[in-house]
């Protein structure tokens, strides 16, 4: 599988902006190789060999496909193409008119009782990928996404999710601690997070020894 295909799969899987540095690490490639793969993938999605402006701020490329690459400074993301906006708006309205469903309520409960929280933590607690559900909740305005605290190099390390004030108002609570059995449920979720950290530490240790 070539680098372009791997990049396409990576951006589709992440379902959120990621820095080029993180993409390089995940794909085990150089910045030059990544930039070439970005250009190639953008052309593929556009269905054209015309030159593009990948890498410029807020850059989007006209496309003959349903997806496109959006670049904002050092961040890249795969999103639906601008030409699909009317279709996506129609689908969004239909989605918002539907009930959240079990998966949505499950994810929302996790965010309510344990926030701010990373997607990886939510996935670990639920045991499945939560990307689509999170996007649904974001669209509905029930949760918001924050950039995780920057590291010592000034690089954002990911995204965190938290409930919105509108959600608390909808639930009829003035503060998060007013949720039913808040302390007990939060403690259970915190235990899950501790188990995840232990598993990650063990995996890193085993990898270093091998």
Give me the average pLDDT of each 10-residue run along the chain (210 residues). 92 85 93 94 76 43 72 84 79 66 90 90 90 88 79 58 85 84 86 65 58
For residue 63, what pLDDT is reported? 47
For residue 174, what pLDDT is reported? 76
Closest CA to 100 of 133, 144, 128, 132: 133
Whether residues 77 and 173 fall in one domain: no
Distance of CA 155 to the CA centre of its chain: 17
What is the domain extent for residue 118? 99-209
Answer whether 178's CB lies under 8 Å from 164's CB: no
Whether residues 145 and 196 fall in one domain: yes
For residue 31, what pLDDT is reported? 93
> The domain that contains 48 carries what CATH number?
1.10.10.10
| Domain presence at residue 120 | yes
> Beta 159-163 vs 143-147: how paired, if at all?
antiparallel
Work out how many domains the chain is built from and give that number: 2
CA distances, 71 to each of 29, 54, 95, 131 (Å): 19, 7, 27, 20
Provide the whole-model pTM. Answer: 0.53
- The residue among 51, 83, 115 that closes a domain is 83
Whether residues 50 and 126 fall in one domain: no
Q: How far apart are CA 193 and CA 94, in angstroms?
A: 35
| Domain presence at residue 142 | yes
Give the burial string for 113-137 (b: 16+ CB within 10 Å, else e). Answer: bbbbbbbebbbbbeeeebbebbebb
Q: How far apart are CA 16 and CA 123, in angstroms?
A: 15
Residue 66: DSSP 8-state: S
Whether residues 58 and 116 fall in one domain: no
- The residue among 18, 50, 83 that closes a domain is 83
| Domain presence at residue 94 | no
| Domain presence at residue 93 | no
For residue 50, what pLDDT is reported? 41
Token duo for residue 126? 């639920």
| Domain presence at residue 90 | no
For residue 52, what pLDDT is reported? 40
For residue 210, what pLDDT is reported? 55
Whether residues 79 and 104 fall in one domain: no
- The residue among 56, 83, 110 that closes a domain is 83
Positive or negative torsion for Cα 94, 100, 104, 110? positive
| Domain presence at residue 89 | no
């Amino acid at each position: 599988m070539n680098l372009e295909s791997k990049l396409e799969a990576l951006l589709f899987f992440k379902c959120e902006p990621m820095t080029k540095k993180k993409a390089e690490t995940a794909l085990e490639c150089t910045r030059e190789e990544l930039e070439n793969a970005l250009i190639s993938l953008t052309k593929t999605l556009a269905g054209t060999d015309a030159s593009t402006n990948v890498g410029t701020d807020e850059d989007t490329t006209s496309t003959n496909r349903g997806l496109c690459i959006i670049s904002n400074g050092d961040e890249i993301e795969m999103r639906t193409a601008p030409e699909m906006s009317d279709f996506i708006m129609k689908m969004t309205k239909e989605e918002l008119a539907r009930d959240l469903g079990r998966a949505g309520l499950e994810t929302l409960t996790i965010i309510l009782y344990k926030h701010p929280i990373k997607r990886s933590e939510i996935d670990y607690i639920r045991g499945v990928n939560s990307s689509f559900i999170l996007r649904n909740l974001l669209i509905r305005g029930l949760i918001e996404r924050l950039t995780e605290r920057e590291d010592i190099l000034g690089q954002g390390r990911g995204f965190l999710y938290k409930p919105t004030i509108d959600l608390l108002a909808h639930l009829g609570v003035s503060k998060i601690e007013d949720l039913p059995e808040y302390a007990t449920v939060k403690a259970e979720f915190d235990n899950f997070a501790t188990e995840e950290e232990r598993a990650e530490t063990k995996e890193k240790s085993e990898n270093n020894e091998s």
